[in-house]
Each structure stands twice: as C-alpha cells, then as structure tokens.
Chain A
Amino acid sequence: MRKPSKRRPRSTAGLGDSTRGAHGANGEHEQRRWAHQAGALKGKTKRHRLADHAFYALSFVAVLVPLLLLFVLLIGVLDNGSERLSLRFITGLPSRKPALAGILPSLVGSFYLMLLTAAIALPLGVGAAIHLEEYGKRSRSARFIELNIANLAGVPSIVYGLLGLDLFVRTLQLGRSLIAGACTLALLVLPMIVIVSREALRTVPQHLREASYALGATRWETVRQVVLPMAYPGILTGAILALSRAIGETAPLVVVGALAYITFVPDGLDAPFTALPIQIYNWVSRPQRGFVLNAAAAIVVLLFTMLVLNGGAIYLRHRLQKKTAA
C-alpha cells in the first residue's frame, strides 16, 4: 500500500520534464516546423475543396433527379385526376360510365387486405426474428435460414402470386378470396419484416439483456419485457414500410384472382375482393379517356394512403424513440 506512491510521483515528474523541454530549448525550431506544415496544409485544402464541391454537386444531383421525377409524376397525376377527385368518387361503386364510377370496393378491399396481411405477417415475422436473433444465434442452421430469408426478399412478387395461387387458392381451397390475397401478400412481406425486426432487435444493447439475466429473468422474460419494448420503434417502422409496399402490389393479386369489377364491399374473409392497384390497372387499360382520368384519381388516393402510412411510421418511431431513448 505504501509502495505505489513511491513510484507514481517519479513518473509524473518525468513527464513534466519532457514537456518543459519541448517548449524551452527547441521552441524556436518547433515553431518553424509548424509554420512549414501550415503551408503544406493550405495547398492540400484547395485541391480537397474542389473534390469536396464536386462530390457535393454530385450527391445533390442524385437527390434532385428522383425528386424531380416524382414531382413530374405527381403533377401529371394530379392534373388528370383532380377533376374526378370528390367524395362521391371515393365512396362510389364502380360503374360502366367513367363519370359515375367510384373506388369504394377497392379502397375497402385494400384496407382489409392490409389489416389481414399485418395480422398474419407481423406475429410470424417478429417471432421468426426473435427466434433467429435471441435463440438461434450463430448456429449453422440460423445462418442458413438467414441467407434464405435475404434471398426470399428479392424474389419477384409475381412468383409469390403463383405460390399463393397454388397453395392458398387451390390446395387449401380458399378460393379467390380476401383471405387468400392477404396470405399471399403476407408471404411477400414476411422476409422484409423478419429482416427489419432482426435489425431492430440487434440495436438493443447486450448489457441490458445481461442486466435482466442477472436479476434472474428467463430468456423469454428478458425478450418480452426488456428487448421487445426497446425494439418496438424499429420493428413498427419496418413493418409499416413493408405493409405500404404490400398495398401497392398488383401482380400477386392479379394472379391470385382479385376481381377487377365488383359492385359491393367485401363482407367476409371468403368474399371476393378487389384492391386499389387492381382497379387502377384495370382502368388504365381501358380505351376511354374517362377511365384514364379515373385511374389518375385513384392513383392520387393510393399515393395519399401511402404517404399517410409512411408519415405515421415516422411519427410512431419518433414518439417511441423518445420514450425509450437511451
């Protein structure tokens, strides 16, 4: 106990000496050296500044191009669709006369589809993510599954449509119904939900898990009460983004058999259905100009819905993050 004090002061004194030396005897030399270096720095800055500007311009263009394209699209759609946009258009039923046609069945269909898709895909996706991230870490099978999920996320949606047609519509005999469509869309977004949920779980610091284990909590208790509450914002945002992709999907629904023309709102899981993208697709392919205007108006509604969803996702993330801010 006495001895540490014997050594420490000596080493501190040594450090002090060397610092003083640098400022004292070599002071002048040091100054000249710094001046020289300052000159060298200046030359470099000019060249770097040019590169910096160039990169700034490049990245600005990269932002501008997609924004401009989106803007052009929006203007075009709004220009065409604005004269059709009205409450009657939204609450009306389809009609053979473009001016009388509305989008209620497809809007409600899209809404139901999204709810059902979420109800199916969220528990499955989050559950799978929990299993992979919290239970099956590092095992060979977990890595194999991980690779496959990443691949599945890249499979074209039409393939999911074909799978849905064969599995849900035919094999499970769900028919061309709302539930078959929702199951197909759930398959489509499942890989995405698994991936974003895993990312969200990974952001929960390990030391909080350890704190929980040290209190005598089981793995499940830890996941449910410590890990999941902190991962919610991330999971939720990812899930909403995945779902907003799902409501824009057309191809798989066409294959599964969404109807283009129904004059009623779906009234059950086994009811035939249509969805906004299907309706749009159908109208756009008609020769009459009236229907093209309808399609534009429906596109505006679809875009608006997506905007609300994405905005909601950002808002939710912001609020939940504030609550669990570390």
Chain B
Amino acid sequence: MTTLLTTALTASVPPPLGSPAKLRVEGVRAWFGNLEVLHGIDMPIADRSVTAIIGPSGCGKSTLIRSLNRMHELTDGARIEGRITLDGVDIYEKDVDPVLLRRRVGMVFQKPNPFPSMSVRDNVLSGLRLTGTLKSVRPDEVVERALRDAALWEEVKDRLDAPGIGLSGGQQQRLCIARSLAVSPEVLLMDEPCSALDPIATSRIEDLIHSLKETYTIAIVTHNMQQAARVSDYTTFLLGGELVEFSETNRLFTSPRDTRTEDYITGKFG
C-alpha cells in the first residue's frame, strides 16, 4: 500500500502530487451472493487527476468503481467489506447517507442513459429536480455551464427542448456527463463510458475527460488499454478480483513490474 503510493507520489508526471488522495480504497472485498468478486483491493485515487481501472471482463472493475459511490449495494444480494474514504471519511460508516454521498460522487454509465421522457434541458436539470434543489439555482445558467463543461453546448444550444434521446449516441453520453456535472460533484466515476460509442465520439469524450480533470477527480473503467494510456494519470490493473498493479500510467504501460500486467497489456490474454 505505502510503497504503491510512494511510487505514485514520487512520479515525475502530472499531476505534481503533493495533494492527498481524494478517495482511498482499503482492503475492499465485495460479493454477489456467495460469489466473491473483489478479494481485498487497496488503492488511492488522486485528487484532480484521472485514474483508470483496466482488466479483462469479469475481473471486478465495474464492481470496484460501483463501490466508490455505493451503487454496488443496490444490486440484490450484493455486499461489501473494507474501507473507502472520501476526504478521510469512511463512506461505508453507518451514519453516511449514500444519497448525499452520490451527490458528491457522480457516475456516468456504459450505455448512455438520458431520461427518455425529458428534453435536453430537463435532462441536465434532472439531478437538481430529482433532489428538490432546483429552486435554489438559476436553471438557465446551470444548463449552459454544465453543457459547456461537457463540450455539448454548441451542438445543442438551439434544441434544448428537443428530447434527450433524439441526440446521437456520443451526444447522449456527453449529455449524461453534463447531467452529472450539473449537481456539482467532486468526483466523477465513469464505467466504460465509450464502449457504446464510435471512434470520433470516443475521442471527444477523451478530450472532455482531459479538461474535466482540472476540476474533478475522475475514475474511469475501460477495457480499452489505449484509452487508459491516453486519458489517465494512474492506472490500476485488476485480474480475477485482485489488484495486480497500481502505478502511474506511463510506468505501467512501459515498464510493468508484474508479468501478468505485461501479458495483459501486450495482448497475450484478455
């Protein structure tokens, strides 16, 4: 744990980490029923940077990212052990309200899932409306800012009242990102956000991730290693529910310490 973190902290690549980890995963084990899918994961997620989680299908990377905002426990029969701290506070402590946690830790899903009955504008505001905080803001400003931050404003500013599902797949995904940003989270979790998108839409989202990390702490699950290499500062390699290697992205891809990591990134399996 400490050695891993030291490696990360002494790295010469951005961000210049004097800042502590925003999220810290400590000894996390997770189950679906009797099936243990995470066997004790330890890793930090550095503030205002991008941490990628890679690994073959079924290695537990989605479970790991879903445990960071307590979405894992919404599945029937799912449970979890261990500590995950957000700014030093264990999010699994009894008096932590997962609802409040999720307002600070937003999530973007694999399949773009704008609310089908809502317009572009209402989709952006949906988080505020759902949580009853819409009255305390100026909706037009929120909509514009969120859409600009999600690099979607120019494309949709003339059709804010059109249905959100009328947009293209890539636009829908950026709309979902805008929707998450509108509630001003601190952390953004992305669970394979580009896997349903074409290469052009994918590169737009990747550019977006780059600009978002100035403000937000980002964790991204991806099965695309090139993507992890392009967008992330740190990379975690999971295999069979265990953390094989956590390191700064450059190092993990150029000189992996574990042979399994090397085998995976060179395409020998997975």
Q: Give residues in A with beta carbon < 8 Å to B.
A: 1, 3-4, 6-8, 137-138, 205, 207-208, 210-218, 221-222, 225-226, 229-230, 323-326
Contacts and interface: CB of A to CB of B under 8 A. Distances in A.
Given A3-B266, A225-B129, A230-B117, A217 B99 contact: yes
What class of interface size applies to chain B in its complex with A? 35 or more
Given A213-B102, A216-B99, A217-B127, 16 more contacts: A1-B225, A4-B225, A4-B265, A4-B266, A8-B267, A207-B109, A210-B113, A212-B115, A214-B71, A214-B180, A216-B183, A217-B131, A218-B99, A323-B117, A325-B116, A326-B116
B48 interface: no
A229 B117 contact: yes
A326 B266 contact: no
A225 B101 CA distance: 20
B109 A137 contact: no
A6 B266 contact: yes
A222 B130 contact: yes
Contacts of B117: 229-230, 323-324
20 contacts: A1-B225, A1-B254, A1-B265, A4-B225, A4-B266, A7-B267, A8-B267, A207-B109, A208-B115, A211-B179, A214-B109, A215-B179, A215-B180, A216-B103, A216-B131, A217-B127, A217-B130, A221-B130, A229-B117, A326-B165
Contacts of A218: 99, 131
Contacts of B107: 210, 214
**Chain A interface helix/strand/loop/mixed:** helix
Interface of B: 69, 71, 74, 76, 99-103, 106-107, 109, 111, 113, 115-117, 126-127, 129-132, 165, 176, 179-180, 183, 225-226, 229, 253-254, 265-268
A214 B191 CA distance: 12
Ordered nearest first, which 10 A-B pairs have the shortest CB separation? A216-B103, A215-B127, A3-B266, A214-B107, A217-B130, A324-B117, A216-B102, A326-B116, A4-B267, A1-B253
A183 to B, nearest CB: 34
Nearest to B116: A326
